[in-house]
Amino acid sequence: MKKMRTHFVLYLCLIFMLIPQFTLSGQKASLAGHWEGSIDIPGMKLEILIDFNQKDDGSWEGKISIPAQDAKNLPLENITLEGGSVGFEMSGIPGEPAFKGTFNEDGSQIAGDFTQSGQEFPFVLEREVSPVVKAKKALADFDELVNRGLESLKVPGVAVAVIKDDEVILAKGYGFRDVEQKIPMTADTLLAIGSASKAFTTFAMGILVDEGRLDWETPVHNYIPWFKLYDLFASQHLTPRDLVTHRSGLPRHDLVWYNNYQASREEFVRRLAYLKPTADLRERFQYNNLMFLTAGYLVEVLTEQPWEEAICSYVLKPLGMERTNFSVVDSQKDDDYALPYREEDGEIKRIPFRNITNIGPAGSINSCVNEMSRWLLVHLNKGMIDGRQIINAQTLEDMHLAHMPTGETPAIPEVTPSDYGMGWFVDTYRGHSRIHHGGNIDGFSAMVSMLPRDGLGFVVLANKNGTSLPELLIRHAADLILELEPKDWISLAAERIAKGEEVEEEAEKKKQTRRVTGTQPAHELEDYSGDYNHPGYGDIKVFQKNGSLFFTYNEITTPLEHWHYETFNGKEADDPTFMDMKLTFRTNVNGLVAWLEAPFESTMEEIVFKKKPSARLFDPEYLKQFVGKYTLIDQILTISLKGNRLTVYIPGQMVYDLEPVLGEEFVLKQVKVIGLRFKTDDKGQVTALEIIQPEGIYEAERVKEEKE
């Protein structure tokens, strides 16, 4: 008997149904609507939720959900209504499960028996208000709350969408998409979703898994043979799952890609070999956009098409997300898009769009809440939309599972510590399982959130930099719909922000206390000028203009002020990325400015950029003047030009390559302790060659060429 019950419970994962109309005091009771109840199985009451609808031809359709079994909207068949008796069943389920029952006198209840595999159990259903209707009523005053949030947190505008079960119960814009022109935000307004784009990349990867073209646990170098990280073990063992769970061992290193429009995605992936980790593979959670860029590049390799095209074919087109795009440039070609804003000194100011297509797989998608609702629906319905299975349910569930603990402690007790799935954060909000991901990029903030067991989905997009309003509005909406004890999240946030501004103002005053006064740079400003390189981060250009130093990195130019000793401070600029960043110069043994240290990654020591030799030392036209013979005692040294490099031949020895270094000098590539420097006269003619060795400097006089 116990075994039979076990089989019965397993069968129930896929079934259930209810009743139609009935005659009561000479009137027909309506079967249409929402019903809630349970089947009385020995030892438990199995909760069931049923919805009936009468079609135009008079026949009935219905669907059943079983929360305990995570079964949702299973179809009912053979629905009959005869007088006060109701019957319905499900086909294709072992044991021929069926319901038969009758209405009570007022038509508010159906009671009867459920049968399966020859066993019979009582069930009771009560007519209830549809959860969708309840949810809509719960949000009756939501507009007022949103508008209060816009005012309290100084946000220009937001677009909000809320889904309950299979229905979009709210899709609306609030405030302005264009403050200056007073153009209102709408549910169709395009805004950047930032890092919420990551889940689109993992979704496409999941479909590749379904197709057998990708395996989550196969090392990445199996797909990209040249793939390499700084750490050899990580290079050999890092998997696609590691790429999308922030456990590669690398910290963010975001300035590698930020505002970098020159490097290709392949180049960014190749630069990973030069970026130091701060942890071992899978040791700890470290958020990393470059790993998601690599995941997107992996999609490109496997599909042989750009990531954008892969996302279109695997995600956007199947979901009907026709206006969703990958570039703020494309957004501005649309009739309805939001402008980006940030808060400065208490005022809302428009800022330039930041195009981040280079890091697209990690965060470049732009969409509207109407189309993002489709994205929520496919996740809430286990990979199915409009009757089509877009991705296997098990594959999608894998993305929603916790794969890496973040190790972070929530700021509020209502939220449990987060884990990371694949493109999603996973936690619990006030006892309700939650899957979510935010997004922040210049001028825009986003939050996409789901409470899957409650059939709830939310997306809130805002056109202000770094605002918490999207998350706060979602909390408010969830509290209302779930009938949780209300909490004024917006007022609490406004109070916290006000206190933070006071602390920040005081901190700003104290920053000068870290400055050592009365110091001077060790070199003339011109000596700091030049190009500095790091193989992972690329080039920094330092230059002098109007008596001051500036530096340019990834096309962002920042003025510098002398701070103390060899350290300079970033001043205010049109792009504030490097404001108050301290750059320190280092001198080599010859007294030349040779390195620049920049705190580009906050979790580790400064990134060291090496000063590059003068570009003309690689120019064949310039180098030709040094070609010739030079005599030292009784030896003849021959300088030759090989491509864009010089060589030196010393009789009885090998031919040495000359490698340009600072100070308009060269070193022997094969013996770097020996340097060479050419001397010129007051007419600029090369007259001699100095050979610089540890024990001394020898001079070889140039042999004059014989005239024909």
Residue-wise pLDDT for 517-558, tens only, equals: 999 999 999 999 999 999 999 999 999 999 999 999 999 999
Could you read off the pLDDT of 400-414 as tens digits, one per residue?
999 999 999 998 999
Could you read off the pLDDT of 462-476 as tens digits, one per residue?
999 999 999 999 999
* Residue 481: pLDDT over 70: yes
Could you read off the pLDDT of 648-662 as tens digits, one per residue?
998 889 899 999 999
Q: What is the mean pLDDT of residues 25-44?
A: 82
CATH of domain 142-498: 3.40.710.10
Q: What are the residue ranges spanned by the domains of the chain?
A: 2-128, 142-498, 525-612, 617-702
At 68 the pLDDT is: 85
At 582 the pLDDT is: 97
In angstroms, the CA 300 to CA 50 distance is 44
Cβ–Cβ under 8 Å, residues 255 and 261: no
At 27 the pLDDT is: 46
User: 28 pLDDT band (50/70/90 cuts)?
Assistant: low
* Residue 26: pLDDT over 50: no
At 4 the pLDDT is: 42
| H or E segment and range at residue 640 | strand 635-642
Cβ–Cβ under 8 Å, residues 677 and 686: no
* Of 452, 415, 461, 436, the residue nearest 187 (C-alpha): 461
**CA R_g for the chain:** 34
Q: Structure tokens of 155?
A: 């946000």
User: 94 pLDDT band (50/70/90 cuts)?
Assistant: confident
Architecture of domain 2-128: Beta Barrel (2.40)
Q: Structure tokens of 27?
A: 């009137």
Q: What is the mean pLDDT of residues 55-61?
A: 92
Could you read off the pLDDT of 669-696 as tens digits, one per residue?
999 999 999 999 999 999 999 999 999 9
At 83 the pLDDT is: 85
Identical topology for domains 2-128 and 142-498: no
In angstroms, the CA 250 to CA 256 distance is 13
Could you read off the pLDDT of 383-397 as tens digits, one per residue?
999 989 999 999 999
In angstroms, the CA 607 to CA 225 distance is 28
In angstroms, the CA 224 to CA 101 distance is 62
Helix (H, G, I), strand (E, B) or coil at 579: coil
Helices 489-510 and 469-481: crossing angle in degrees, nearest 10, is 160
In angstroms, the CA 143 to CA 66 distance is 33
User: 101 pLDDT band (50/70/90 cuts)?
Assistant: very high
Q: How many Cβ atoms are within 10 Å of 137's Cβ, its own excluded?
A: 12
CATH of domain 525-612: 2.40.128.50
Helix (H, G, I), strand (E, B) or coil at 16: coil
Mean pLDDT of the chain: 93
User: 501 pLDDT band (50/70/90 cuts)?
Assistant: confident
Q: What is the mean pLDDT of residues 76-102?
A: 90
Which one-letter DSSP state was computed for residue 359?
G
Q: Which of 115-119, 169-173, 362-366, 549-553 has the lowest mean pLDDT?
A: 115-119
At 500 the pLDDT is: 78
Of residues 418 and 6, the one with the higher pLDDT is 418
Q: How far, in Å, are 25, 51, 60, 166, 430 from residue 103 at the CA level? A: 12, 16, 17, 28, 37
Helix (H, G, I), strand (E, B) or coil at 440: strand
* Residue 497: pLDDT over 50: yes
Domain 617-702 has CATH 3.30.70.20: no
In angstroms, the CA 245 to CA 406 distance is 10
In angstroms, the CA 116 to CA 445 distance is 51
* Residue 17: pLDDT over 80: no
Could you read off the pLDDT of 582-634 as tens digits, one per residue?
999 999 999 999 999 999 999 999 999 999 999 999 999 999 999 999 999 88
Q: What is the mean pLDDT of residues 174-181?
A: 98
Helix (H, G, I), strand (E, B) or coil at 650: coil
Q: What is the mean pLDDT of residues 246-268?
A: 97
User: Which residues are CB-neighbours of 316 under 8 A, at least 6 positions away?
Assistant: 322, 324
